[in-house]
Amino acid sequence: MSVPAYTLPPYAEPRITASRTTSPVREGPDPPDALVSGVELIVSKLPRDGVTSAAHHLRAVLGEYNLQHPADPLVPVRIVSADERNPVDFVFVSVDPDITQAPRPDLLEQVRCALASAHGLQAEWKVGKGPDRTRRVHFQVDSFAQAEALQPKLNDYLNEHSCPFQGSFVSKNRITYDLLDRSTVDKLFRTPPVIDHQTLSPSTPRYIQPIYGLEVAILGLKDVLLALPVLDHYISHQYGDVIASSRLALGGDAYCVVFKTWAQASRFLSDPFTAFDSGFGTSHLVSHTVPALLYVLNSNGLPISARPPDSSSALLRQLQAQFDVLQQIADTKVRASEALLTDQDQMLQQPQDHSLHTAASIASLSTIASASACLQAANFRLETLQSDRRMAQLFLAFTSPDRSGALAQHLQLLESDISAQTAAVSQAQDSLNAAK
């Protein structure tokens, strides 16, 4: 049965029902064709009997699918072996350039969904340039010679501890492994290898798993209050109803957005980004924040952003340190007094009384310091909640009704927290008054 010629359909908007999990790439600049090559799938869990086994198996799976769905065939694709010298279980899949050279993530999403239904196969959007970074770990030592000597021992360790890998190599002072199972990455972090009485700590590339092709990301947002609704509102106000999906990743440090069309995403990337020019919604100035394709950011390596120190935490640590010193002095005095009482109970009745009085005074001072620290912490917490409430009320005033539900719910929770924290401040004040 022959497969009919493929007719390129019009662009279909993304239909993203749920975000897949985000996770923790190759260093160096992206080539000029990174934009198009970034619209690419990585398909794994394929046979790896030989160098071409994975690609041949996937072609057979796709051919079988098209025979079973002649009225709705998948787009012809280009399948590239991930490693031309060693057999691996994954390949890279992109739209055949003879069909179209325009970026068409919608067509590849159809391929991804079809492969996801095939038994045992895993299809995802490719993270960035190079190999499968989601299953790559490396171990760093002091020198290249040490890495070369350690590699056979580490190979044996991984095999003996059921940590299968499909390739490893030494580069500079680093031993890199491409693992067979993604769960092995977590296993190695829980129980790092120990060789020659030396614990080898694994490292992995830092990345965000894309949920759709041509996804856009903005980094450095960890200290932006309510970054998701703020940036959703900015994009909607500037460009209209263009968002197919948006989310926060990397613990709130990155905002990721999928646009309904590539034209919309391209315009957003080309226009000046002015969401934070006025400092609106931020606790400090957000600088050097430029949107970029998530694929490009992953390829170039995601930076680890440093969060500004929390002044309230620093003050509490200082108060706690002062309290610890006072408590230590009090404990020392009490122990000294008890020893003195044991040895010289009859001879030194007056010094005993004096020592007890001193210890009691210091203990009282420690109690006051502790109560003061608790009151200070309670007040800081209350002020933070009140500040969050004012900011949320301000955001709510600028948010469209269809997106205001989450903010309104957040405000209700803040009101409840503020009421409870007000009571906690009152209780802390009573404790301090009693200590005095």
In the chain, what are the domain boundaries? 39-125, 133-203, 216-300, 311-435
What confidence tens digit (pLDDT) does each residue in 70-84 have?
999 999 999 999 888
The residue type at 110: Q
Q: Which of 18, 15, 22 is nearest to 248 (CA)?
A: 22
| 266 Cβ neighbours under 8 A, 6+ residues apart | none
Q: What is the number of other CB atoms lying within 10 angstroms of the CB of residue 15?
A: 11
Give CA–CA dist 261/294, Å, rounded.
16
pLDDT of residue 240: 94
From residue 26, alpha-carbon distances to 85, 138, 164, 299 in Å are 20, 13, 23, 5
Distance CA 373, CA 382 (A): 14
Q: Work out the percent of the chain whose per-residue pLDDT is above 90.
A: 46
Q: Is CATH 3.40.50.300 the classification given to domain 133-203? A: no
Listing from the earlier edge strand, what are the strands of the sheet with 91-95? 77-81, 91-95, 41-44, 122-125
Q: At 375, list the tokens.
A: 């009151």
Q: How far apart are CA 424 and CA 375, in angstroms?
A: 9
Give the pLDDT confidence score for residue 319 in this predicted structure: 44
Assess whether the region 39-125 and the region 133-203 belong to the same CATH fold. yes
Range with the largest mean pLDDT of 260-269, 287-296, 306-315: 260-269
pLDDT of residue 233 exceeding 80, the answer is: yes
Q: How confident is the model over 75-99, as a mean pLDDT?
A: 92
The token pair that represents 357 in the structure block: 């009085």
Query: Residue 305: what pLDDT?
Result: 42
Q: pLDDT, tens digit, for every residue of 191-223?
A: 999 998 899 999 998 899 999 999 999 998 888
Of the candidates 135, 137, 136, 142, the residue with the CA atom closest to the CA atom of residue 198: 142
In the prediction, which pLDDT does 426 show?
Answer: 84
* Residue 74 near residue 114 (C-beta atoms within 8 A): yes
Q: Which CATH class is domain 39-125?
A: alpha beta
Distance between CA 247 and CA 9 in Å, rounded? 29
Would you state the structure tokens that stand for residue 358, as one six-digit string? Answer: 């001193």
Rg of the Cα atoms in the chain: 30
Model pLDDT, residue 234:
93
pLDDT of residue 8: 84
Which residue from 282, 277, 283, 229 is spatially nearest to 255, judged by alpha carbons? 229
Q: Which residue has the higher pLDDT, 403 or 84?
A: 84
Judged by average pLDDT, the poorest of 4-8, 196-200, 210-214, 331-335 is: 331-335
Least confident interval from 52-56, 134-138, 297-301: 297-301
> Rounded CA gap, 4 and 2, in Å?
6
